[in-house]
Each structure stands twice: as structure tokens, then as C-alpha cells.
Amino acid sequence: MPDDVKPYRHRFPKSIIQHAVWLYHRFTLSYRDIEELLLQRGIQVSHETIRDWCEKFGPTITKELRKREPRRGSHWHLDEVCVKIKGVKHWLWRAVDEHGAVLDVLLQEHRDTEAAKTFFATLLITNEVPIAIHTDKLGSYGAAFRELPELHGAEHREVISTARCNNLVEQSHRPTRSQERSQKGFKSISRAQNFLDLHARTSNLHQHTRTTVTAETRRSNQRAAFQTWNEVALLAA
């Protein structure tokens, strides 16, 4: 691979670095798990180095993956869950479209109207105004919806949390929960946000690789996802 050179002041080539970062964000693995997987392949690297790779190259990979994402659906599904960072309660706001693709994620300290307005504003930076916005019955959503004139062209639909149409976003929370348990909690809000951003983009990239399609189609989708990741990661490293 002609571009597989060692980044400045790094001992390992880009291919190894990007593969370690991909493993961490694609599967529920700890840094020590990845250290062991690489060692099995004859690559001796510490879990601290793998963590440094994720923190250094992750934001750039996230940015490049965002550029390559297709236009998303016109129905938003929003939800928020509690996560703890150093033992302090924070709220993870998440939005997905009607196909289950993650639109954005945002960690905030509150779940009030201002927090809802901030999340809506974040979504509108990279997405067009949707046809409909599905939320649970949290009052902050309705208040923010009324106060943001940009959203007045959309329909706000409040649903109970167990409704099928809102299961899309609740299911999207599950991998985050698994990784949170694997990490034994997040250690800082900036690291958590960076992880969640890239985790969402990686999930979108592989969204069509585990669906009820033929094995041939699934493998074709997987190869396309691998190719995109490799191109983006080599640019980032």
C-alpha cells in the first residue's frame, strides 16, 4: 500500500493505527482487548498507545466520514438517556432518521428547554428541516419546538417511549450502553463526546451490513464500508 507510511513520530504504519481505531469503534472491545488481538498478529503495542491513537485520529476520521454520508431521511426520532461521567449525571441526546441512521449525538448536563434547543440547533447545522419530529413526552421538546421558528414547518409528534416508531432511537442507544460498561464509565465529557461522534459515524457506515439481504449483497456492502473506512483513515493519519 503506497500510502501506508508511518505518521510523524509514530512507530507503526497507518494501516495498523486505523485498524486499531476501527476495532474500538466497531465492536464492544476495550483497549486491552485490542492490544491482545494485535499481539496475536505479532504486533506489540500497549493499550495506552491504542487509546492515544483513538483520541488523536478519531476526530479527523469522524469529520471525513460525515462528509461522505448520504442525505438522511425526513423523519427524525429523538431521545435522551442518562450517562455518568466521573460519577456525575449527564444526558446523551440522540437523533436518528426513519431508517435508523444516526443524525447526531450530543452530551449535555441538562435535559431542559435550553438543552433541547441546543440539540435542535446542532441537528440543523448538517440536516434540512424534517417533515416530522418524533419525541417522547418530555416537555422540553415541545417548548424548544415552539421557540425555534426554523422548526415551525415540521410536525411534532409526541409518542410513548414504548411505541414502535421510537424504538429506532432507543435501539441506537444500546451499543453506547455496552461500550460504557466495557469502559467502566466515561472519564471526561470531551473524550466521551469524541467517542460517541465516531461511534455513530461508524455505525452508520456499517448500517447495511447486517440486514436481511443475501450473503452476496451483505458482503458487497461490507467491502464498500471497509473501503470507505480505509480511505478516510489514511487521510486522517
What is residue 212's DSSP assignment? Answer: S
> Domain map of the chain by residue range?
14-68+207-236, 75-197
User: Is 236 within 8 Å of 57 (Cβ atoms)?
Assistant: yes
Is the four-CA dihedral 149, 96, 158, 110 of positive or negative sign? negative
Question: The whole model's pTM is what?
Answer: 0.89
Distance of CA 176 to the CA centre of its chain: 8
Alpha carbons 235 and 18: distance in angstroms, whole number: 10
Rg (CA), the chain: 19
Q: Check: CATH 3.30.930.10 for 75-197?
A: no
What is residue 100's DSSP assignment? Answer: S
β-sheet bridge partners, residue 107: 92
β-sheet bridge partners, residue 104: 95
Going residue by residue through the chain, which has 237 residues, state the pLDDT in tens, using 9 for 90 and above: 446 777 777 889 999 999 999 999 999 899 999 999 999 999 999 999 999 999 999 999 999 999 999 999 999 999 999 988 988 999 999 999 999 999 999 999 999 999 999 999 999 999 999 999 999 999 999 999 999 999 999 999 998 765 555 677 877 877 777 776 766 668 889 999 999 999 999 999 998 866 678 889 999 999 999 999 999 988 776
